[in-house]
């Protein structure tokens, strides 16, 4: 006779049980704290929504075609901001990435410093940087370029340093052994290995920056965000519909193009 009982269950250790209960209590406490102390005026929000619904939603879906040329020009400026900003970032990120990569500058200290700089830069949201640059260089598109450049440097630097850390070091060692100097190693051993992936990430970042730069105008840093804030202040939801359509079209096209280029490179 065969015994068809289930195999024994793996035993959970007491430590695991206590840990799981602890995590559960923490999560529940967090939610209780959140939902008890947050204060949303539901009545007012619903009342406003009931009043505004017919004024906002239908007009959002009937774009104002007369604004097309203005919107197109602003969108073009947005693309320029993103392009200049991400190219600048791609250039600034390279030395920082070499500093942060563990296998390049030698020394754990240099790598740690580089990593700290990069994560500090990453912690600032783009739009906060834009606020700072608008105060510094005035409310114009160049403030947007600087904000995008600095904002993207953090992420690109991190990605680049990870790529550098993952290269095949045998090539570098072989070159060292056959007497190549540092510059030769850099140009013939390291750069050919990292270029395709660097380019791929830089193009991907351009994709992200298109989205980021389309809202910078909200704080005065140029691009289509300026029109967004005007349209919302004037309750001009038809124009907002046109703007939204422009953003969706441009972002989709650039996402598509960038995905194709990146597939070709890597």
Partner 1 sequence: MTNETNSTTPKKVPAIYPAKTKLQVTVIFFVVLGIYLFSMSWTQQQMAGGFSGALSNMFNVIEKFFPPNTAVISAIWGPMVETIQMAIIATTVAAILTVPLALLAAENVTTFKPLYIVTRTFLNLLRTIPDLVLAVIFVGLFGIGLFPGILALIIFSLGILAKLISETIESVDMNPLEAMRASGGNVFQVIWYALIPQVLPQFTSLVLYVFEINIRASVVLGLVGAGGIGLILNQQLGFYNYPNAMMIIILIFVVVIAIEYISTKIREALL
Nearest to 134 by CA among 233, 240, 226, 234: 226
x/- contact string, 119-148, with partner 1 (CB under 8 A)?
Answer: xx--xxx-xx--xx--xxxx-xxx-xx---
CB of 137 to partner 1, least distance (A): 4
Interface segment toward partner 1; rule CB under 8 A; list 92-100, 156-164, 176-184, 236-244: 236-244
Nearest to 118 by CA among 136, 84, 94, 141: 94
4 forms part of the interface with partner 1 (CB under 8 A) = no
* Residue 143 near residue 221 (C-beta atoms within 8 A): yes
x/- contact string, 171-190, with partner 1 (CB under 8 A)?
Answer: --------------------
68 forms part of the interface with partner 1 (CB under 8 A) = no
Contacts of 189 (CB under 8 A, 6+ apart): 171, 172, 175, 180
CA distance 3 to 204: 58
6 forms part of the interface with partner 1 (CB under 8 A) = no
x/- contact string, 32-51, with partner 1 (CB under 8 A)?
Answer: --xx-xxxxxx-xx--xx--
Shorter beta-carbon distance to partner 1: residue 181 or 233: 233
CA distance 249 to 252: 5
* Residue 251 near residue 212 (C-beta atoms within 8 A): no
* Residue 149 near residue 88 (C-beta atoms within 8 A): yes
CA distance 72 to 250: 10
Q: Which residues make up the interface to partner 1 (CB under 8 A)?
A: 30-31, 34-35, 37-42, 44-45, 48-49, 52-53, 56-57, 60, 77, 80-81, 83-84, 87, 119-120, 123-125, 127-128, 131-132, 135-138, 140-142, 144-145, 211-212, 214-215, 218-219, 222, 225, 228-229, 232, 235, 237, 240, 243-244, 247-248, 251-252, 255
């Amino acid at each position: 006779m065969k015994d068809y009982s289930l195999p024994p269950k793996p035993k959970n250790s007491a430590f695991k049980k206590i840990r799981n209960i602890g995590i559960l209590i923490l999560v529940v406490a967090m939610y209780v704290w959140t939902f008890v102390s947050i204060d949303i005026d539901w009545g007012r929000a619903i009342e406003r929504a009931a009043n505004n619904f017919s004024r906002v939603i239908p007009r959002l879906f009937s774009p104002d075609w007369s604004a097309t040329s203005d919107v197109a020009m602003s969108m073009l400026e947005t693309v320029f901001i993103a392009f200049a900003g991400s190219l600048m970032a791609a250039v600034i990120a390279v030395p920082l990435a070499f500093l942060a990569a563990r296998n390049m500058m030698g020394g754990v200290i240099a790598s740690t410093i580089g990593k700290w700089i990069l994560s500090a830069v990453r912690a600032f949201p783009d739009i906060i940087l834009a606020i700072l640059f608008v105060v510094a260089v005035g409310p114009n598109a160049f403030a947007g370029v600087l904000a995008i450049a600095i904002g993207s440097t953090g992420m690109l630097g991190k990605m680049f340093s990870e790529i550098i850390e993952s290269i095949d070091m045998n090539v570098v060692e072989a070159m060292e052994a056959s007497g190549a100097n540092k510059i030769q190693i850099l140009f013939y051993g390291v750069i050919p290995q990292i270029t395709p992936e660097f380019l791929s990430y830089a193009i991907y970042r351009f994709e992200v920056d298109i989205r980021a730069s389309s809202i910078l105008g909200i704080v005065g840093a140029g691009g289509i965000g300026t029109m967004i804030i005007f349209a919302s202040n004037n309750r001009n939801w038809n124009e907002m519909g046109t703007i939204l359509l422009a953003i969706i079209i441009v972002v989709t096209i650039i996402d598509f193009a960038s995905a194709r280029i990146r597939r070709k490179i890597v």
